Amino acid sequence: MLEPLKEQVCQANLDLVSAGLVTLTWGNASGLSDDRRLMVIKPSGVPYDRMRPSHMVVVDIQSGRVAEGDLKPSSDTATHRLLYQRFEAVGGVTHTHSPKATAFAQARRALPAFGTTHADHFYGPVPVTRPLTAAEIDQAYEHNTGEVILEAFTGADPMAVPAVLVAGHAPFAWGADAAESVKNAIALEACAAMALDSLLLQPDLGPVEPYLLDKHYRRKHGPDAYYGQS
């Protein structure tokens, strides 16, 4: 079942290691089937150097039940499921504990758009969620993690800023498929690293001018984009 998607999702998880975004088994990537009924996700706690496409777990989006696979799915499965259910353009989700982006999440601080590198990928600041309450953590932690992510994007386009910082936790990123979600996670970590260095040099630094943000984002995204090859 979904063998090509299993291969894609397995490769996306391995790409997280290659990009230096994963320590031990801290991270996961998933991908959604074309009919948006099933997701394929990394198994929980399996070392990346042993991971194969056959280890990927197929999960029913609506019920959350395992549709295929002998291993337990990632402990973050409920968060992935909720993002797929509510963000209609998302076909891949990545969660990491990459150091610089996680530093912003642990500081409970949004990642400002300080320059054009950020603007190339994110149309404005990457938001930070509110902290979960004790009851939300106790009752349905992973599902409620998804709920606070959704709250952070109320009235906003999740594809214009395809990432979030979960307060006290770590980042999530997403995209049209698993590979794109990994690319956005890589971009998020790079932007967070640059932001930390920028704040060391200029602690009172403000965001980049809106017209420069617009120019860099729109030259790569949308109907008037002209970056790259047609």
Render pLDDT for 4-56 as a digit per residue (tens, 0 to 9).
999 999 999 999 999 999 999 999 999 999 999 999 999 999 999 889 999 99
CB atoms near residue 64 (< 10 Å)? 14
CB atoms near residue 103 (< 10 Å)? 17
* Prediction pTM value: 0.96
Identify the sign of the CA torsion 132, 134, 137, 143.
negative
Using CA atoms, how far apart are residues 61 and 221, in angstroms rounded to an integer?
Answer: 29
Residue 138 is a catalytic residue: no
Out of 48, 60, 120, 141, pick the active-site residue: 120
Q: Which domains does the chain have, with CATH numbers?
A: 3-218 (3.40.225.10)
Amino acid residing at 132: L
Amino acid residing at 125: P
Residue 120 is a catalytic residue: yes
Amino acid residing at 71: L
Listed in sequence order, the DSSP H helices in the chain are 3-18, 77-86, 99-106, 116-121, 134-152, 178-201, 210-218
- pLDDT reading at 145 higher than 90: yes
Out of 138, 157, 197, 227, pick the active-site residue: 227
Report yes or no: 41 and 210 within 8 Å, Cβ to Cβ. no
Q: Give pLDDT tens digits for 79-100.
A: 999 999 999 999 999 999 999 9
